Amino acid sequence: MSKTKFILSTASIALAIALTGCSLNSAEAYHNRGKAYYWKGDYDKAVSDYNEAIRLDPKFIEAYIDIAYAYARKGDYGKARGNFTKSLSVFYEVILVEYFIIDGPTIDFSVLDWRTDPNNVSSIIIIINGVFTDSRDGNKYKTVKIGNQTWMAENLNYDATGSVCYDNNSANCAKYGRLYNWESAMTACPSGWHLPSKSEWKELDEVVAGKKLKSKSGWNKNGNGTDEFGFSALPGGGGRSDGSFGSVGLSGFWWSSEGTFSRFMLYSHGYVGWYYYRKNNLFSVRCLQDYCEARR
């Protein structure tokens, strides 16, 4: 998500403390306003609000992560690394101890990791891997939190109206997930998750893209990726309304909520692209967790 998308007026920054679509407590309100300041480029005010969020809720993991990003932007790399380290200890205390033992998490977070460019501390990205169980059919999906987004790390395999297995073969559903027309894709994700918008896909791109998102195996013609972030994109191919299928093993296509825009990856290239497709085509779905659900 680029800073140019957050040309914020004073009024919009003030509203950011209240208008987020979530039921806020004070710590979340300060955190949200801090993020608004961050994207405006006012890192001092962002740090101030993040610190207030942490004071009100010392176990607010995302506030430690975001304040670290802000310190990095300010050039204070010592405090940046210190807050990333603190987020690790809070993670283990809150998620692995409190939620796992007492409440039992909706997503069973099991691994916390990060990636960093040694020449640029502000590129540190927190990665949290977990498992989500879809209550509709009992299917379990690996999940990955990359930066501020939590994604399913597998294609959706929910048997919704308007969805099929590639080549009408159930083995392909087990491997690649189901293929959906756009109308079906819009409502296929479980409660608390949604079909990502084009801008949400682009936010992921600004963190990591291309071969780093591709799975390490499954792509034909030497098209495998490095899967450095656990996203594990597979070449599930696509289908057409006439019942034909194509490109499995060679290409992957994923719907966005913006109608006919579809995201694609090819075996022959390391980049991620966009193309205009008819809504009755059949493509894969990757669900993104709702922001409010991620904060519960």
pLDDT at 204 over 70: yes
- In this structure, the strands spanning 272-276 and 261-266 are antiparallel
User: Residue ranges per domain, the chain?
Assistant: 3-105, 153-295
Instruction: Using DSSP bridges, classify how beta strands 261-266 and 179-180 pair: parallel, antiparallel or unpaired.
Output: unpaired
| CATH classification code of 3-105 | 1.25.40.10
Give the range among 54-68, 71-85, 105-119, 143-157 with minimum mean pLDDT.
105-119
Taken in order 114, 115, 118, 124, is the CA torsion positive or negative? Answer: negative
Q: CA 210 to CA 272: how far, in whole Å?
A: 5
Residue 88 pLDDT grade (very low, low, confident, very high; cuts 50, 70, 90): low
Would you call 239 exposed, middle or buried from its count of C-beta atoms within 10 A (0-12, 13-18, 19+)? buried
- pLDDT of res. 216: 92
Tokens 């304040």 belong to residue: 67
* Per-residue pLDDT, 237: 94
Lowest-pLDDT choice from 45-49, 121-125, 189-193, 276-280:
121-125
The rounded mean pLDDT for the chain is 78
Q: Both tokens of residue 1? A: 């998500």
In this prediction, residue 80 carries a pLDDT of 80
Residues 289 and 296: their CA atoms lie apart, in Å, by 11
Closest CA to 53 of 36, 74, 75, 31: 31
Q: What is the pLDDT at residue 91?
A: 55
